[in-house]
A and B are shown apart, each in its own frame.
Chain A
């Protein structure tokens, strides 16, 4: 990566369908992926609900955008940090989240999980490493 690459973090703190924040965040991530920056996503508070398995929006007439997270690896967005405490507070564990994989070009295209469960303290450290933080 060249030295003008910045670390961008998209922070997701809202549940998926009650407001437009979650969908807008994903749209901006996909647009931003064209700029070859070092992109990560953070999911905390109600944002962890965005990644749950088995979402089916046919009954509410809204687009189910949860499968789109699985396409992020194709755009070199491979770091999805999910806060463990936020999951536990909501009665969730990593098993409740959908599987999101990417192919690691530096490791013979081995399939690896994009979701990385981190503690609240680790999440604070991740925030502090960023050049740009975009909140949704």
Chain B
């Protein structure tokens, strides 16, 4: 009974990602989209926000990364990319989708 959580805000602007992580349960899926993708980059002051959440599956939407000039090499370990079709697959294979606006 997994939930897909989408996060579309930068963690430097709002606490949406932090709140999402505080409410996600083991086995849930986090998908960072739009400005949310900044939360998946390594070497930032907030890079350890994702630490300790190895029971979650974490994805970023690749077109949103590319749009912002971010290379997949900049991603934190354990973060995977999906394309739009992959986004649809995630929504279809989880029990509910929850947007952290």
Q: Which of chain B's residues has its CB closest to A120's CB?
A: B22
* Cβ B25 vs Cβ A13 within 8 A: no
Q: Chain A's interface: helix, strand, loop or mixed, by majority?
A: mixed
* Cβ B96 vs Cβ A13 within 8 A: no
* Cβ A135 vs Cβ B101 within 8 A: yes
Asked whether B42 is an interface residue with its Cβ less than 8 Å from the other chain, the reply is no
Asked whether B99 is an interface residue with its Cβ less than 8 Å from the other chain, the reply is yes
Partner of A21, one of B3, B16, B19, B101: B101
Q: How large is the interface on B (under 10, 10 to 19, 20 to 34, 35 or more residues)?
A: 10 to 19
Q: Which of chain A's residues has its CB closest to B28's CB?
A: A128
* Cβ B96 vs Cβ A130 within 8 A: yes
CA distance in complex: A60, B15 (Å): 27
* Cβ B15 vs Cβ A11 within 8 A: no
A130: which B residues are within 8 A, CB to CB? 96
Known: A132-B96, A133-B96. A127 touches B101 (CB 8 A): no
B100: which A residues are within 8 A, CB to CB? 13, 135
Known: A135-B98, A136-B101. A128 touches B25 (CB 8 A): yes
29 A-B interface contacts by CB (under 8 A): A11-B98, A13-B16, A13-B100, A13-B101, A44-B19, A44-B23, A45-B15, A45-B19, A120-B22, A123-B23, A124-B22, A124-B23, A124-B24, A127-B3, A127-B23, A127-B96, A128-B1, A128-B3, A128-B25, A130-B96, A131-B96, A132-B96, A133-B96, A133-B97, A133-B98, A133-B99, A135-B98, A135-B100, A136-B101
Extra pairs beyond A120-B23, A135-B98 (12, CB < 8 Å): A45-B15, A45-B19, A120-B22, A123-B23, A128-B1, A128-B25, A131-B96, A132-B96, A133-B97, A133-B99, A135-B101, A136-B101
